[in-house]
Structure 1
Amino acid sequence: MRAAVVNEGHSFDIVDVPDPDPGPGEMVLRVHACGICGSDLKAVDNMRTGLVMGHEFCGEVVAIGAGVTNWEIGSRVSALPLIGCGVCLPCATGDVAHCATLDMIGVGGSPGGYAEFVRVAARESFLLPEAVAFDVGALVEPLAVGLHAVERAALTPADDVLVVGGGPVGLAIAMWARTRGARTVVVSDPVAHRRAAAIKVGATHVADPNDGGPDGTFPVVFECVGTPGMIATCVSMTAVHGRLIVAGVCTKPDTFVPVLALMKELALHFVVYYRRQDFALTIDHLAQGRLPIDAFITSQVDLDGFAAAFAALKHPTDQCKVLVKPGLIPDPTPPVAT
């Protein structure tokens, strides 16, 4: 199959690699769409040469491994990009991301979705209803990230929410916060087109941090930027007895002054990935048309255009979610289960 693999320059080459084979309890999907995640833009610098990244994917089943009885060839699938042991407490409760033997598909573990085919765990796969187009199916993973963060915040109808950062995860959090009943949702971002997108996904207000906003403090604050200094900034914007949820992926050392959070008696939560239940609920809402998602997908590329699109996203851009669609080029013969 053709795949985008990490090269020595921390970019990508499009090469032929062996087709994946499904092991027991696994399936192989033909990738119909895979979103480029903002965390990948940072993570690529630490990935080994030859790795296939990409974890926001969906597709159709083309091969089924031993012991899989509840799936058929051709089934439309959205799958967690996670392979756990299947028997530990985190796996049993849907919290697969915290399995001690976790294999993270496309994030340093098994090959990911920037390719024509991807191998997934059948038990972490969900049927994608016909009402959910494959393009939209590629949004399930990032939207589930947003849902998980909002669920951790335990929102109430009286809550006023501030979302710091209007990228895809920030937009997903703003959308879910409003959907889950927050009274007001303010999205703070210095980029005008991101603020416009925030209104489209349900934010009640937007603010430009370079123009004096947002004003005041908020009972619930989501940090969705992931750069050093942002936690300290968000502590200052969180109200007394408030909740600060950190969803931004920061890969560098950071500091803040704990006493400033202590004196406000803040609850500080770090969130990562999602639960199996978050995937299921996201798919259900998408199938029912209950989520305002039109602002998310802004561009599509095939594998040959992937490296350039990925590099462009490392710089200021008007893109939100760029989809890689291997199906825009001729498909090879699909892999066969052994």
Structure 2
Amino acid sequence: MRAAVIAEDRTLEVAQVDDPAPGPGELVLAVKGCGICGSDLKVVNHLPIGYTLGHEFSGEVVAVGSDPVGNWKAGDAVCALPLVGCGNCQYCWDTLPVHCPHMEMIGTGVRPGAYAEYVAVSSAQTFRLPEGCGYDVGALVEPLAIGLHAVDTADIAAGDNVLIVGAGPVGLAVALWCHHVGARSVVVSDPVAVRRESAAQFGATGIIDPGAEELSPAFERLAGAPPDVVVEAVGKPGIIQSCIEAAAHRGRVTVVGICSGPDPIIPVFASLKELTMTFPVYYRHQDYAHTLAMIDQSRIDPAPFITHTVDLDGLPEAFEAIKSPTDQCKVLIRP
């Protein structure tokens, strides 16, 4: 099959690779849609040459391995968690494969990803797409599930004032779910004008340009009070401390951005406010299920996330382009 693999210079190149075969409990999908994730731009520098990225995907079942979990057949339209657990530990039994000590992730380091014509997935972590949910939207379930898990972990509820720092796809997914649960104010901060200005279509009630205003006074001007919850959706050093300083006393700070380097904070700022801080990681099985149910019921509309589409041959150029801020939100690959 054809796949976009990591080249020697850490760009992507399209190459011929072996077709995946389904192992026990696995399915092979013909990839119909796969999003480019911001985390891919980071891990591309650390993964083996020749590896295939891509963990936000949907596809059509083309092969079923032995002993699958569920009744799967060729032609089923699906999406899947890119997490493969051992299936024999408490975390896997609790449908929390992200915490399995033997977890392998598709497209981020161990198992080949979906920047390809085909991808192998765990049948236990696969979901049928609802009727009327196309493959493009099916590929958005993964980033939407990240946003949902962040909102759930932060215990965001109706009436809350929420500040979201970062208007990339994850920050906008958080905004969408905050609006869905009835948050009173959903204010999004981002230095890139086109990103923050797009936030309104995902439920934001206000926006902040952090280059022109400080977070705390700007938020209070828009919402009339400090934020009950601050969500960090950037993943760069220094942002967590800014979130702590902006949060209301006895408020919550939830860190969904992934920062892989040192990020010093001043704990006394959080202590004096008696803040609760949480660090959600990825998603749970039920986050996928709930996201698909809300799509099926037309309770959420994720289609505006997709701003650009490319085929496999156009992926290497598109991958390089999004390393700099643009007007793009989610770039979708249709292999």
Measured against the shorter chain, the TM-score band is: over 0.9
1:154 paired residue number: 155
Matches within 5 A, 1:33-112: 33-68=33-68, 70-112=71-113
Contact 1:202 1:292 in 2 (8 A): no
Change (3 A) 1:26 1:294: closer
Larger deviation, residues 130-139 vs 286-295? 286-295
- Unaligned 5+ segments in structure 1 are 327-338
> Which residue identity is paired with 1:82?
L
SS in 1 for 2:167: coil
Deviation track 1:213-249 (CA, whole Å, cap 9, x = no partner) reads 5334311000001101001111111111110000011
Deviation of 1:86 after TM superposition, in Å, equals: 1.3
Which secondary structure state, in structure 1, belongs to the residue aligned with residue 198 of structure 2?
helix
Task: String of CA shifts for 1:56-102, please: whole Å, max 9, x gaps.
Answer: 00000000001125101000011000110112111111211111100
Distance 2:127 2:302 in 1: 20
Q: Is the 8 A contact 2:227 2:246 kept in 1?
A: yes
Matched residue SS, 2:325: coil
Deviation at 1:130, TM superposition (A): 2.3
TM-score (norm 2): 0.95
Where does the alignment leave 5 or more consecutive residues of structure 2 unmatched? Answer: 221-225
Q: Which amino acid aligns with 1:87?
A: N
Could you state the TM-score of these two structures normalised by the residue count of structure 1?
Answer: 0.94
In the TM superposition, what whole-angstrom CA distance separates every residue of 1:175-231 from its partner, at most 9, and x where no partner exists?
A: 001101211111111222212221001111111111215334311000001101001
Instruction: Report the counterpart of residue 330 of structure 1 in structure 2.
Output: none
Q: What does residue 247 of structure 2 align with?
A: 238
Could you tell me how far 1:286 is from its partner in structure 2? 1.1
Do the aligned partners of 2:157 and 2:178 also contact (CA within 8 Å) in 1? no
User: Is the CA contact 2:62–2:75 (under 8 Å) kept in the aligned structure 1?
Assistant: yes
2:142 aligned residue:
141
| CA distance in structure 2 between the partners assigned to 1:302 and 1:8 by the alignment | 22
Q: After alignment, is 141-150 or 203-212 more displaced?
A: 203-212
Q: What is the DSSP-based 3-state SS (H/G/I as helix, E as strand, rest coil) of the residue aligned with 1:307?
A: helix
Aligned position for 2:327: 318
* SS in structure 2 of the partner of residue 77 of structure 1: strand
CA shift at 1:303, angstroms?
0.8
**Distance in 2 (alpha carbons) for counterparts of 1:280 and 1:125:** 10
Q: For the Cα contact (< 8 Å) 2:238–2:263, is it kept in 1?
A: yes
Hey, what does 1:215 align to over in structure 2?
Answer: 219
Question: Could you tell me whether the CA contact under 8 Å between 1:200 and 1:292 is conserved in 2?
Answer: no
Select which of 276, 281, 290 maps to 2:290: 281
Amino acid at match of 1:222: V
Q: Which is further off, 114-123 or 182-191? A: 182-191
Q: How many Å separate the matches in 2 of 1:127 and 1:215?
A: 40
Partner of 1:205: 206
2:317 matches 1:308: yes
1:228 corresponds in structure 2 to 237
Which stretch has the larger CA shift, 99-108 or 38-47? 38-47
Residue matched to 1:118: 119
Q: Measure, in 1, the Cα distance between the counterparts of 2:219 and 2:87.
A: 47
User: Equivalent residue of 1:141, what SS?
Assistant: helix
Give, in whole Å, the separation in 1 of the partners of 2:157 and 2:51. Answer: 43
Does the aligned pair in 1 maintain the 2:179–2:186 contact within 8 Å?
yes
- Residue 196 of structure 2 is aligned to residue 195 of structure 1: yes
Distance 1:63 1:153 in 2: 39
Secondary structure class of the residue paired with 1:53: coil
- Please tell me the residue identity of whatever aligns with 2:132: A
Is the 2:191–2:210 Cα contact (8 Å) retained in structure 1?
A: yes
- Alignment partner of 1:178: what SS? helix
Measured in 1, the distance between the counterparts of 2:136 and 2:75 equals: 17
* Equivalence for 2:7: 7
Question: Where in structure 1 do 4 or more consecutive aligned residues deviate above 3 Å?
Answer: none
Q: Deviations over 1:134-173 (max 9, x none)?
A: 0111100000000000000112323100000000000000
Give the 3-state SS of the residue equivalent to 2:237 in structure 1. Answer: coil
- CA contact 2:187–2:219 (8 Å) conserved in 1: no
Indicate the residue corresponding to 1:336 in structure 2.
none
Q: State the identity as a percent.
A: 52
Q: Which residue of 1 aligns with 2:26?
A: 26
Paired amino acid for 1:165: G
Letter of the 1:134 counterpart: Y
